[in-house]
Amino acid sequence: MKIGISGASGQLGQSVLKELAQRGGGHELVGISRSPGTVRSPAEGRWGDFDAPQTLSAAFAGLDRLLLIPSADLSPGVRGRQLRGAIDAAVAAGVQHLFLVSAAGTRKAEVPSLIEPYWTAEQHLIRTAPLWTILRMNYFAESMAQEIQMSAAMGVLTGLGEERVAYVSRDDLAAAAAGALLGDGHAGAIYNATGPAAVSGEERARTASQVLGKPLGFAVIDEAQLRGGLSQAGLPEIVVNVMADIKKSFVRGDFDVVTTDIERLSGRPPKSLGQILAAAAV
C-alpha cells in the first residue's frame, strides 16, 4: 500500500511516520506538508499546502490511504475550509480510504467555535469519501504537562470549574493512527483516542505535586481572571480566546470520555498524564 500523512513536518505527523516505519510491512510512505524536506527516509516528502488546493492533487497522487492531520491555524473558519479542500482533493485524486484526525466532543458547531473545523471536516468526509475512518483526539497530555510546568512556580493549577479530561499522549495517538492505517475493518468507524482515565482538576494537581515533588493545589477561577493571566503572560488575543474556549470545553465535559481505542488500534496501553509529566520534567 501507499500511505500518505499530511502535517508530516509536525509533531504528530512525524510520530505517525515513525510508527509506520517501525511496523514495516513493505508499505510506501509519503509525508506531505509545506516543508517536505523535513520528511525522513524511508518516507517520501511531497509538497502540499491546504491553502493552495491545486498543490494537493500531485501531493495525493497514487495514495491508497491518507491520514489528514489538521493544521495548527487557529484563525476562525480556516481549518474547516482547509480540511474540506483537502478531502475534495483526495477524493478527486482517487484515494480510496481517508483517515481524519478530529477532536473529542465534536458536534454541530458554527464558526468561530473551536470544534467547527472538526464538525465541518467529519461531515464532509462522511458524505464524500469512498471509505473513511475518524480518530477523535482528546487533549494532548504533553500540552497539559507544559502548562503544569509553567504554573508550578505559583503553587496552584487553575481551571474554570470542575473538569474531567482524559489527556492522551501525542505518541499514543500516533501509534493508534498507524495501527488503523495499516489495519482492516476500520472503515466507517469513529474512534476516541483517550488516555487511561479522566483526570479532574484536583487529581491533576495531586499528580503534578507527586511527580514534581512540590505542593500544588487546584483553584477555580473565572473567565476574566483566566483571560487576564494569559494576556499578562504576553499571549496574543487569538491564543487567549482559544485557551478560554478549551478551558470552557473541559468544564462542559467534551474531553470526559475514556475508551480502550488506543490499545485496540496500537496494541499497547495508553500512558497516563503522570507518566507524560514525569518524562517532561526530567
Ligand X SMILES: NC(=O)c1ccc[n+]([C@@H]2O[C@H](COP(=O)([O-])OP(=O)(O)OC[C@H]3O[C@@H](n4cnc5c(N)ncnc54)[C@H](OP(=O)(O)O)[C@@H]3O)[C@@H](O)[C@H]2O)c1
At CA 201, angle to CA 69 and CA 147, rounded to 5? 50
Nearer to ligand X, 49 or 217 (CB): 49
The single residue among 10, 105, 179, 201 that binds ligand X, judged by CB under 6 A, is 10
42 to 101, contacts with ligand X by CB under 6 A?
48-51, 69-73
Cβ atoms of residues 91 and 130 within 8 Å: yes
Residue 225 beta carbon to ligand X: minimum distance, rounded to whole angstroms:
22
Residue 220 beta carbon to ligand X: minimum distance, rounded to whole angstroms:
21
For position 270 contacting ligand X by CB under 6 A, the verdict is no
**And the C-alpha cell for 219?**
483553584
- 1-9, 17-25, 118-126, 192-200 -> range binding ligand X (CB under 6 A): 1-9
For position 145 contacting ligand X by CB under 6 A, the verdict is no
Strand 164-165 to 199-200 pairing: antiparallel
Cβ atoms of residues 141 and 148 within 8 Å: no
Nearer to ligand X, 27 or 34 (CB): 34
Produce one character per residue of 17-41: b if its CB has 16 or more CB atoms within 10 Å, e if not. bbbbbeeeeebebbbbbeebeebee
For position 274 contacting ligand X by CB under 6 A, the verdict is no
Residue with cell 469512498: 130
199 to 228, contacts with ligand X by CB under 6 A?
none
For position 28 contacting ligand X by CB under 6 A, the verdict is no
Residue 114 beta carbon to ligand X: minimum distance, rounded to whole angstroms:
10
The single residue among 39, 137, 176, 180 that binds ligand X, judged by CB under 6 A, is 137
- 11-19, 88-96, 188-196, 233-241 -> range binding ligand X (CB under 6 A): 11-19
The single residue among 131, 143, 210, 267 that binds ligand X, judged by CB under 6 A, is 143
- 5-13, 146-154, 210-218, 269-277 -> range binding ligand X (CB under 6 A): 5-13
Nearer to ligand X, 6 or 158 (CB): 6
Interatomic CA distance for residues 172 and 230, integer angstroms = 29
Residue 123 beta carbon to ligand X: minimum distance, rounded to whole angstroms:
17
Please tell me the count of residues contacting ligand X according to CB under 6 A.
24
**And the C-alpha cell for 72?**
495548527
Helix (H), strand (E), coil (C) string for 92-150: HCCCCEEEEEEECCCCCCCCCCCCHHHHHHHHHHHHHCCEEEEEEECCEHHHHHHHHHH
For position 238 contacting ligand X by CB under 6 A, the verdict is no
* Contacting positions for ligand X (CB under 6 A): 6-13, 33-35, 48-51, 69-73, 137, 139-140, 143
